[in-house]
Structure 1
């Protein structure tokens, strides 16, 4: 241990105190030993440090910071170097605000397009997500502070996220849901990891020794700190044994007592606590070094310009019929859509950034030479229908050469704590598109949202520019794409299916009660669509340019693939080339092909560059559940180089020697997996894949409610008061939604409706403790007066103890 002498000089009480927060955002300090508090702040795409009355829900304004594009946007850049540079800017701002640990990036997989937090995650592909995250982590940590990669692991839905049990087979877990973390931790050297709220195969992730000890610590040799998601601790001692050092936020000393009692009883060895303290001290002492230097002022304009550069390289051109883009000078343009007036530029929840400035489309049109004949709102942002708005928009469109239509999803549709109800645009926007098409078919749609949507209306637009959520400088970045100052080079980091029903997790998302079953196995995103031969609207890796590129001269060795890219058009531009690998053997079921590398190059017209994408330890591997380790199947492999997952330009074959491992599966038991058609796998076949029986997915309504049951389950409670409270909560949500207080309504669902009862103690900063919660549960389970007396008695005890 690095800090053995200091730890030996601590009391057990002092050691235990370091294992949970001092308040909502700071760790505990010990003055006599010179151990200071460190500050943790949200920050996947900008620093969210609360200015006053710090709260996790963001009810108070945060200090101004640069709002960069979200991870879902940055992923479309396919540029590791750009991600690292953005990380450097984030790290610089974190230091300026005295933030030791920046809580990001988030790298959970996009299992379903409806997951409410997809805007905050990179991709459906673990290799792409891991590489971009590793770059961002290196950038953040280059300033001496810590990034915090999250949420470890398989946190792929928001509904019931604090209690849902994720049922997933070991191979899928390793290949799909842990690979991005492996890359981020090994290559990015993240100093901090955040454990997820959910359970994994029956155990909360922060207590799961297989995940936290066997994989994270033993296999990946991770020596940093694991912090719980806020309020994500279930059994504090079990979490500590698993190696989850820091519990956030504060529990006002309650869980410290649990740790002390566990040591005294022998349930927890003191050396395990010492090990956790040692790792936390390393984080404290290494991240506070930078604050000993004189503080530097942030060049706000320089950071804003960097946000624009990231946005420009991440915006995706999806359609350009008749070369309607870039906009020709002198064309009369009608600007329509609420999102042109008020940009949708970031997500909602813990990642909300208070921007230093915010570019506005309507105020910037002249600057970019766009001849606007006027603006009409066209639709209500939150879906309310208005024939008058559509009529006024159509009147304007009639007089224009081109209609520039700004559409998308609103802030309350994509939000932390909630999953989206569907994949479609609001109906009032679709009605507007149809009406505009009748009066002027020259429509360029500018789409703003953080995840895939259905686009049955795409035939009604000639141009489609997807900005995703492009940050505070996104408006001008978009205009530079539209007018041709910049050739679009973004490519999709997720597949756009034709219909939601086509998605692999359609029948198994989200888990509504006890558990969610990942029956599709490793076949998510393009891995499913390609293997099962399902047509899609826009494939993974797709994006258009204002020029053309030719690929040639592929040479493949055991070390990697080398080829030449030529800009065969007339515009200088960047191209993201992608390397896929497919095993020609069918002895072990696998996706048809998988992304194993990528590179991005800038080329002037007529210029050629030879590029090499090296192979690594992940290029040919698969996880063998029989040997419980990574193996290589001896076979011939297709080496595929292309402009997207379906636009393959160059192919070669390579024979690779294997590790001669025992075959992991019997084909007759797993027909769906061997065919790749896994969107509706039977329970029996899924259990054959798992190797064990799936637990009941429904609540047992006959049992009394406990710590890990949610407020939503009060609808089944024995206590009349609990059932009344449930109805009051659902009524409040419905009422607030109807009167337009949608963010507050969402907050109720996130922080009350889906909250486990233990959250009352874990998330209230010591206002309620677990003994008081026992009384609450008595009330819920039908013992109102006994429970009320218990709550009051325990409250009195807690107040007296606090005074002592």
Structure 2
């Protein structure tokens, strides 16, 4: 007999209880802020509109205003302490489709912040995933505004329930990292309101977010920090936001423009919003003192609402290495990893397994403000060894690659081992070197000092040359990294590098070498200012060790993908994996029939070159400090995977709806990107074009199976629809399922997506168990944005309610007419 339980999703009750804990800016807080402002001098008020340090607001002791700490970021606290919990990336959190778990993430972040005296958290990042190339996709919550909005709401209410101000970013339409200071996102009114603004609107109206951060980019030709319609007309006057509107770091481009367009706080310093610029503007009437007063009031009334003027900011009762946060990071990874492929039910693993690949013994993450230094991590190799020690063979890079740096010679005569190092007292490797000497290796961290006696501490450069020859053909792995610029040449051809001013970064490439062929290596480096680091390592694949190892196992788990050097803030990334990674996947598949690929990336990749080589694929995203444990539990079947994609993954980049309109495509003085796809981004675009994605939005495999049935709909108010249905676990394993609800407008007078996600629930079911899920769709679920009326409207007619496990499998259908 079927065991049926009923679950009322109760979104209003769940979120209502969370929002009730969040601080609200009351009339009393506004009045107290006005009184404080009235006692401030004009100079004090202007100084308060910018950062005191890069991550703090200044104290004014005579008014009992303390210094207020801010900190990155979306995946963990980056500032004011060397280490903190490294949670999984935002896109993995979205992949859990679990509101309560993302709320726990917010609480953990809030506790970690309080333990470090941080009162303003610079997260969540919520920009819509428009294309896989954006370098910060890993921080965000995917392509769908409803899913992203629900995740953001849970995250914010969790953070703010701990008395810490959350900052939603980046407002608005920051959907690429390429030329982010100079590119204009040109978006029509309807597309803005339906796709790119709903997450921010929900954060303000439903989560009472305390702070909003403007983006770097221009919106329709106007920088976000100078955009009056965006910041005042919409955010303040229409949505009713009363909190702090701050700039992203160095995203202010004028004083008067930003001041009059609603920006409250310039970070990290007052480059534009300072006394030197604003006092003359006030004296000439271009900016009023009342405008300045209101900005300071916005900041103070928010701090007052959170009690930050009246309590110690640091909570020393919370451990820096917080057990609650560590558990939350693990649970997120367990539920957010997505099983994409499992041919022949290769997973869960059976028998002996080799674990290998560049990410097997490290936990990668994206770069920039989403990068966190954890207290400890669990890698995939550690996780598998812990769960099945005797059945796990480590074929990690340190095992199958031999260090060959000692095999480099100063020239082709092979008389002297090492590298010829030439040191220059300039950054450009110009003129004659001051010092030439032989060095056995290249591994230097000069910190803030000089490389040699008599050299400057900054502004120097070095060139190293050496020759390498192998007696047999093989595969080299070359790693180079530095702070600042570095580049690697082989036979005078540049093979990799990062030639610019930056903190430490690294690059890794593979190089095929022929037997007895001479290879000339040239490594170049320059230091700009501050710390100076340069490292070069070379390894050769030991084919015999690899063959012997693979012959001993039944399965191979290969861990690969991107990392903070190749995916991060300030730059876009390629769609494809590095070519050598693709080749190595195919090489391993040719040597062993049972290959599992664990992929780290912040979004979709080009699977076409290597998809068939792998029998199973896990999309692990950036899984946080506990990620290796979670992945090992999934690989071994201790738990069933339950993550679902918050994005669509295209077969090729050209299939993406925004292809042709992602980079600059309008001729103008500034770089302009016309969002010509309109509302048809992600799965909305694939439905319209008829092109099949490699993996559709909402997709994810399980070790169990589920059946849907008995859909019922009932009108419960004006444009309010109660939806209920049953989900049964028909497989042989306890597992969780994400049930998704989409709405289709059968006939519309305007172009609308074929369907749109408007509800979901994640439910855990024991094998054989059934539950009835219930939720309510509101008016927004049926509406579109009317550009003539400048508001959302419901067009009377017939709507279909579609329910199923992903956007391409929707077995249940019901109809309602409004």
Q: Structure 2 length normalisation: TM-score? A: 0.76
Alignment partner, residue 453 of structure 1:
605
Determine if the alignment matches structure 1 residue 613 to structure 2 residue 775: yes
> 1:325 & 1:351 partners in 2: Cα distance?
31
> 1:394 & 1:415 partners in 2: Cα distance?
35
Say which of 155, 163, 174 aligns to 1:155.
174
Partner secondary structure for residue 555 of structure 1: strand
Say which of 584, 597, 604 aligns to 1:432.
584
Determine if the alignment matches structure 1 residue 383 to structure 2 residue 403: no
Determine if the alignment matches structure 1 residue 602 to structure 2 residue 754: no
The 8 Å contact of residues 127 and 180 in structure 1, kept in 2 or not, is answered as yes
Higher helix share: 1
CA separation of 1:390/1:336 partners in 2, compared to 1, >3 Å: closer, same or farther? farther
- 1:616-627 maps to which residues of 2 (within 5 A)? 616-627=778-789
> 1:557 & 1:182 partners in 2: Cα distance?
28
Q: How far 1:286 sits from its partner (Å)?
A: 3.5
Determine if the alignment matches structure 1 residue 277 to structure 2 residue 434: no
Alignment partner, residue 338 of structure 1:
358
Name the count of aligned residue pairs: 641
Q: How far 1:253 sits from its partner (Å)?
A: 8.3
Q: How far 1:50 sits from its partner (Å)?
A: 4.3
Alignment partner, residue 799 of structure 2:
637
Alignment partner, residue 52 of structure 2:
22
> 1:293 & 1:14 partners in 2: Cα distance?
25
Q: How far 1:255 sits from its partner (Å)?
A: 2.2
Alignment partner, residue 697 of structure 1:
none
The 8 Å contact of residues 579 and 613 in structure 1, kept in 2 or not, is answered as no
> 2:633 & 2:84 partners in 1: Cα distance?
24
- 1:682-697 maps to which residues of 2 (within 5 A)? none
> 1:353 & 1:157 partners in 2: Cα distance?
22
The 8 Å contact of residues 152 and 194 in structure 1, kept in 2 or not, is answered as yes
The 8 Å contact of residues 233 and 239 in structure 1, kept in 2 or not, is answered as yes
> 2:127 & 2:315 partners in 1: Cα distance?
37
Q: Which string of whole-angstrom CA distances, capped at 9 and with x for unpartnered residues, describes residues 242-283 of structure 1? A: 221111112378623322222222222322222221111112
Q: How far 1:410 sits from its partner (Å)?
A: 3.1
Alignment partner, residue 714 of structure 2:
557
Determine if the alignment matches structure 1 residue 471 to structure 2 residue 624: yes
The 8 Å contact of residues 572 and 602 in structure 1, kept in 2 or not, is answered as yes
Alignment partner, residue 46 of structure 1:
76
> 2:756 & 2:816 partners in 1: Cα distance?
15
Farther off after superposition, 312-321 or 178-187: 178-187
Q: How far 1:144 sits from its partner (Å)?
A: 1.0
Alignment partner, residue 316 of structure 2:
295
Q: How far 1:185 sits from its partner (Å)?
A: 1.9
Determine if the alignment matches structure 1 residue 400 to structure 2 residue 556: no
Determine if the alignment matches structure 1 residue 250 to structure 2 residue 269: yes
Q: Which string of whole-angstrom CA distances, capped at 9 and with x for unpartnered residues, describes residues 541-567 of structure 1? A: 000111111111111123231111111
Alignment partner, residue 742 of structure 1:
none
Determine if the alignment matches structure 1 residue 222 to structure 2 residue 241: yes
- Uncovered stretches (5+) of structure 2, i.e. residues with no partner: 1-29, 401-475, 480-507, 514-539, 716-720
> 1:301 & 1:13 partners in 2: Cα distance?
45
Partner secondary structure for residue 327 of structure 2: helix
Q: How far 1:509 sits from its partner (Å)?
A: 1.9
> 2:179 & 2:272 partners in 1: Cα distance?
27
Alignment partner, residue 306 of structure 1:
328
Alignment partner, residue 367 of structure 1:
386
Partner secondary structure for residue 556 of structure 1: strand
- 1:768-787 maps to which residues of 2 (within 5 A)? none
Q: How far 1:394 sits from its partner (Å)?
A: 4.3
- 1:207-218 maps to which residues of 2 (within 5 A)? 207-218=226-237
> 1:557 & 1:430 partners in 2: Cα distance?
51
The 8 Å contact of residues 255 and 272 in structure 2, kept in 1 or not, is answered as no
The 8 Å contact of residues 115 and 315 in structure 2, kept in 1 or not, is answered as no
CA separation of 1:295/1:521 partners in 2, compared to 1, >3 Å: closer, same or farther? same
> 1:42 & 1:293 partners in 2: Cα distance?
17
> 1:546 & 1:254 partners in 2: Cα distance?
56
Alignment partner, residue 12 of structure 2:
none
Q: How far 1:376 sits from its partner (Å)?
A: 4.0
Q: Structure 1 length normalisation: TM-score? A: 0.77
The 8 Å contact of residues 144 and 286 in structure 1, kept in 2 or not, is answered as no
Alignment partner, residue 753 of structure 1:
none
CA separation of 1:413/1:96 partners in 2, compared to 1, >3 Å: closer, same or farther? same
Partner secondary structure for residue 511 of structure 2: coil
The 8 Å contact of residues 594 and 615 in structure 2, kept in 1 or not, is answered as yes
> 1:156 & 1:240 partners in 2: Cα distance?
25
Q: Which string of whole-angstrom CA distances, capped at 9 and with x for unpartnered residues, describes residues 97-121 of structure 1? A: 0111000000001111101111111
Partner secondary structure for residue 496 of structure 1: coil
Alignment partner, residue 589 of structure 1:
751
Partner secondary structure for residue 557 of structure 2: strand
Alignment partner, residue 350 of structure 1:
369
Say which of 644, 653, 662 aligns to 1:509.
662
The 8 Å contact of residues 403 and 444 in structure 1, kept in 2 or not, is answered as yes
Alignment partner, residue 521 of structure 1:
678
CA separation of 1:535/1:283 partners in 2, compared to 1, >3 Å: closer, same or farther? same
The 8 Å contact of residues 642 and 648 in structure 1, kept in 2 or not, is answered as yes
Farther off after superposition, 364-373 or 457-466: 364-373
Higher strand share: 2
The 8 Å contact of residues 108 and 324 in structure 2, kept in 1 or not, is answered as no
> 1:343 & 1:561 partners in 2: Cα distance?
41
Q: How far 1:336 sits from its partner (Å)?
A: 2.0
Q: How far 1:399 sits from its partner (Å)?
A: 3.1
> 2:813 & 2:176 partners in 1: Cα distance?
37
Q: How far 1:617 sits from its partner (Å)?
A: 3.5
Higher relative contact order (CA 8 A, sep 6+): 2
Q: How far 1:638 sits from its partner (Å)?
A: 1.3
The 8 Å contact of residues 146 and 192 in structure 1, kept in 2 or not, is answered as yes
CA separation of 1:465/1:253 partners in 2, compared to 1, >3 Å: closer, same or farther? closer
Say which of 700, 703, 718 aligns to 1:543.
700
